[in-house]
């Protein structure tokens, strides 16, 4: 499949890309070798390909645009998440990018998104670099041989990291951009080699198509399934533990980041995982550690001097070191990546204040309140010398990827919660024993034990206490977890300091929720934390 067909060349021409040498649907192995040949990467001791993504080692949310046209204008949640892009400017910029790619060697790949065939979309990905194409191979769903022969691309991603826009002429903010055109069905990515732009642009697209056109809830969550067929999903912002906690030796992995909830199924949008590598170890995260092998793509890591052994503690390039691999690299992955309606939902929050309990059970009203709020805390980069954690509220645990207003997703979730019997848990994967600086991050093994007990039903057997201010229902016991950590207040030496922090956090919740309160019902509003008098 590597040589272009006449049809393929014609397709490139119709997109303005002329006389390029194009390689079509190369295997992961071939793309790895192309990358090595071009000296854009090296092989590690486990034969994974390691590359640097260049100037960008993370997404650039301020440079993400949606083309303003009849299809988008009244539907998109315009503002600081979705920036408008002029349609004529898009046309002109597409031509410039096509000219830039013309005459170059390019890599074309046909893939799918959405493991449930009822919702599947076909995507053709054209990349300037072979490793970006390997990323698309690893992360999206790989068509079979027959499917490839009959492939009809509906959506196109053009990925040109080496192309730099001229903001004044091209209508961009700076030299890099990710622009989604819903009418032309093209996603144009330029100036950034960060591969996450490729996957998250499709996530953004599906966050439009599925709720708006198909009545399916799209979710920023991971998913796995137990031996008895019980599905669990884990919502959470970046770094809260979606990928880490969904890789569970006792459960089948459905997916690590993006899913849809249809009438009868939960389905993965993707065909691979994109795991963080910072401090990765065989002891703590054996499944992910083992997935760093031949055909996997490592990003922005560094080696132990004089070796090709990755030093996962070295974050000198970025804290956001990553590895992308096809989902079947996780031993117990479910194929196809589809499961039934979830029995348990976990909201993961990395609370750097150390205020929220390691686990608590939410009522439906509380579940809606926390879903709309999307609280987590980011710990500022140590290199800046900042020690205070930054609060973030990211609606639906994925605000940055929502083309529609958050209430659209909340309505769909509310309907699902009312129609099905689902347990919803709030899990703090962040701090305990004090805020960032005083306390410490809760041990991964404790979080895993709490989740295991919630899934088995064991946790329900415990007596539940209520945490003041947040009114959260916390278990008083859990196997393999020290009792004293279950109530966050008891882990703080200074109880007054805890109460003050809890009030401070509650205040932030209340303030943040004001923007959504007109769309929320009484049950949801009653679930807001109650700031105490002394605050």
164 binds ligand ATP (CB under 6 A): no
Known catalytic membership, residue 302: no
243 binds ligand ATP (CB under 6 A): yes
Distance in Å, CB of 242 to Mn ion, minimum: 5
491 binds ligand ATP (CB under 6 A): no
377 binds ligand ATP (CB under 6 A): no
451 binds ligand ATP (CB under 6 A): no
User: Which CB, 218 or 429, lies closer to ligand ATP?
Assistant: 429
Which of 122, 238, 394, 447 does the annotation list as catalytic?
238
User: Which CB, 257 or 285, lies closer to Mn ion?
Assistant: 257
User: Which CB, 25 or 224, lies closer to Mn ion?
Assistant: 224
Residue 272 binds which one of Mn ion, ligand ATP, none, with CB within 5 to 8 A depending on kind?
A: none
Which of 20, 32, 57, 59 does the annotation list as catalytic?
59
444 binds ligand ATP (CB under 6 A): yes
207 binds ligand ATP (CB under 6 A): no
Residue 236 binds which one of ligand ATP, Mn ion, none, with CB within 5 to 8 A depending on kind?
A: ligand ATP
User: Which CB, 41 or 239, lies closer to ligand ATP?
Assistant: 239
Look at residue 160 and give its three-state secondary structure: strand
DSSP 341-392: SEEEEEEEE--TTS-S-SEEEEPHHHHHHHHHH-EEEEPPPGGGT--S-EEE
Taking CB under 6 A as the binding criterion, the range among 37-45, 47-55, 163-171, 270-278 that sits at the site for ligand ATP is 270-278
239 binds ligand ATP (CB under 6 A): yes
**Total residues binding ligand ATP (CB under 6 A):** 20
Q: What is the side-by-side strand order in the sheet with 186-190?
A: 21-24, 105-113, 121-127, 155-160, 186-190, 177-181, 64-68, 83-86
Known catalytic membership, residue 322: yes
CA-derived radius of gyration, the chain: 23
Known catalytic membership, residue 243: yes
Angle at 173 between CA 167 and CA 174, to 5 degrees: 65
Residue 373 binds which one of Mn ion, ligand ATP, none, with CB within 5 to 8 A depending on kind?
A: none
User: Which CB, 68 or 298, lies closer to Mn ion?
Assistant: 298
Distance in Å, CB of 256 to Mn ion, minimum: 5
Is residue 268 within a helix (H) or strand (E), and if so which, with residue range? strand 266-268
Which one of 64, 199, 251, 276 is in contact with ligand ATP (CB under 6 A)? 276
Nearest-CB residue to Mn ion? 243
259 binds ligand ATP (CB under 6 A): no
Residue 442 binds which one of ligand ATP, Mn ion, none, with CB within 5 to 8 A depending on kind?
A: ligand ATP
Closest residue by Cα to residue 67 from 409, 403, 408, 405: 403
Closest residue by Cα to residue 180 from 329, 91, 64, 95: 64
d(CA 69, CA 71): 5
Q: Considering only the C-alpha atoms of the chain, give the largest distance between any 2 of them, rounded to a whole number of Å.
A: 75
d(CA 459, CA 101): 57
Which one of 35, 240, 360, 503 is in contact with ligand ATP (CB under 6 A)? 240
Percent helix / strand / coil, the chain, rounded to 5: 35, 25, 40
Closest residue by Cα to residue 459 from 357, 527, 528: 357
- How would you class 482 by CB atoms within 10 Å of its CB: exposed for 0-12, middle for 13-18, buried for 19 or more? exposed
Which of 96, 199, 242, 276 does the annotation list as catalytic?
242
Token digits of residue 161:
């990291």
- How would you class 500 by CB atoms within 10 Å of its CB: exposed for 0-12, middle for 13-18, buried for 19 or more? middle
Known catalytic membership, residue 44: no
User: Which CB, 67 or 223, lies closer to Mn ion?
Assistant: 223
Site string for ligand ATP, 335-374 (x = CB under 6 A): ----------------------------------------
**Total residues binding Mn ion (CB under 5 A):** 3
User: Which CB, 245 or 253, lies closer to ligand ATP?
Assistant: 245
236 binds ligand ATP (CB under 6 A): yes
Known catalytic membership, residue 2: no
Q: Which residues contact 419 (CB under 8 A, 6 or more apart)?
A: none
Which one of 1, 441, 523, 526 is in contact with ligand ATP (CB under 6 A)? 441
Which one of 36, 43, 148, 278 is in contact with ligand ATP (CB under 6 A)? 278
d(CA 260, CA 218): 4
**Within positions 227 to 266, which residues make up the interface with Mn ion, using CB under 5 A?**
242-243, 257
245 binds ligand ATP (CB under 6 A): yes
CA distances in angstroms from 88 to 12, 15, 166, listed in the order given: 21, 16, 16
- How would you class 263 by CB atoms within 10 Å of its CB: exposed for 0-12, middle for 13-18, buried for 19 or more? exposed
Known catalytic membership, residue 142: no
Which one of 241, 339, 488, 529 is in contact with ligand ATP (CB under 6 A)? 241
d(CA 75, CA 71): 7
d(CA 25, CA 109): 5
First to last CA, the chain: 67
Report cis status (omega within 30 of 0) of the bond before 122: no
Distance in Å, CB of 353 to Mn ion, minimum: 23
53 binds Mn ion (CB under 5 A): no
User: Which residues are catalytic, by number?
Assistant: 59, 200, 220, 238, 242-243, 257, 322
Summarize as ranges the residues that interact with ligand ATP (CB under 6 A). Answer: 236, 238-245, 257, 274-276, 278, 285, 429, 441-442, 444, 447
For Mn ion, the binding residues (CB under 5 A) are 242-243, 257
């Amino acid at each position: 499949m590597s040589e272009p067909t006449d049809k393929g060349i014609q397709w490139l021409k119709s997109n303005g890309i002329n006389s390029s040498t194009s390689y079509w649907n190369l295997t992961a192995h071939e793309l790895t070798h192309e990358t090595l040949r071009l000296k854009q990467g090296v092989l590690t001791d486990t034969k994974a390909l390691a590359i640097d993504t260049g100037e960008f080692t993370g997404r650039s949310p301020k440079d993400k645009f949606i083309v303003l046209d009849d299809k988008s204008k009244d539907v998109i949640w315009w503002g600081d998440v979705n920036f408008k892009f002029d349609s004529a400017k898009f046309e002109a910029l597409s031509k410039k990018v096509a000219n830039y790619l013309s005459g170059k060697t390019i890599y074309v790949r046909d893939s799918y998104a959405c493991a449930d065939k009822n919702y599947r979309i076909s995507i053709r990905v054209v990349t300037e670099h072979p490793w970006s194409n390997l990323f698309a191979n690893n992360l999206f769903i790989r068509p079979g041989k027959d499917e490839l022969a009959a492939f009809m691309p509906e959506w196109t991603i053009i990925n040109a990291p080496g192309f730099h826009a001229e903001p004044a002429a091209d209508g961009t903010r700076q030299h890099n951009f990710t622009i989604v055109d819903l009418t032309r069905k093209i996603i144009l990515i330029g100036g950034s080699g960060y591969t996450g732009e490729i996957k998250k642009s499709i996530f953004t697209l599906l966050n439009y198509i599925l709720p708006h056109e198909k009545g399916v809830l799209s979710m920023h969550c991971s998913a796995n399934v137990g031996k008895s067929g019980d599905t669990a999903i884990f919502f959470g912002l970046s770094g809260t533990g979606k990928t880490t906690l969904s890789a569970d030796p006792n459960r089948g992995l459905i997916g690590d980041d993006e899913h849809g909830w249809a009438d009868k199924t939960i389905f993965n949008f993707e065909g691979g995982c994109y795991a963080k590598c910072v401090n990765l170890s065989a002891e703590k995260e054996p499944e992910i550690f083992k997935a760093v092998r031949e055909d996997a793509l490592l990003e922005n890591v560094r080696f132990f001097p004089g070796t090709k052994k990755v030093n996962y503690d070295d974050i000198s390039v970025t804290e956001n070191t990553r590895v992308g691999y096809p989902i079947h690299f996780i031993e117990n992955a479910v194929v196809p990546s589809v499961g039934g309606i979830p029995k348990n939902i976990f909201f993961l929050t990395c609370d750097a204040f150390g205020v929220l309990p390691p686990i608590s059970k939410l009522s439906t009203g509380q579940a809606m309140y926390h879903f709309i709020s999307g609280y987590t805390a980011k710990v500022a980069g140590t290199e800046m010398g900042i020690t205070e954690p930054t609060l973030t509220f990211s609606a639906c645990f994925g605000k940055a990827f929502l083309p529609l207003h958050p209430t659209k997703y909340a309505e769909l979730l509310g309907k699902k919660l009312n129609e099905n019997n689902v347990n919803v848990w709030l899990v703090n994967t962040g701090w305990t024993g004090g805020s960032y600086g005083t306390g410490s991050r809760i041990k991964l093994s404790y979080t895993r034990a709490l989740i295991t007990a919630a899934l088995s039903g064991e946790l329900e057997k415990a007596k539940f206490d209520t945490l003041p201010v947040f009114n959260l229902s916390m278990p008083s016991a859990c196997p393999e977890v020290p009792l004293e950590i279950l109530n966050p207040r008891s882990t703080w030496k200074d109880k007054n300091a805890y109460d003050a922090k809890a009030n401070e956090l509650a205040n932030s919740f209340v303030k943040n929720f004001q923007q959504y309160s007109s769309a929320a019902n009484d049950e949801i509003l009653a679930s807001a934390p109650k700031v105490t008098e002394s605050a």
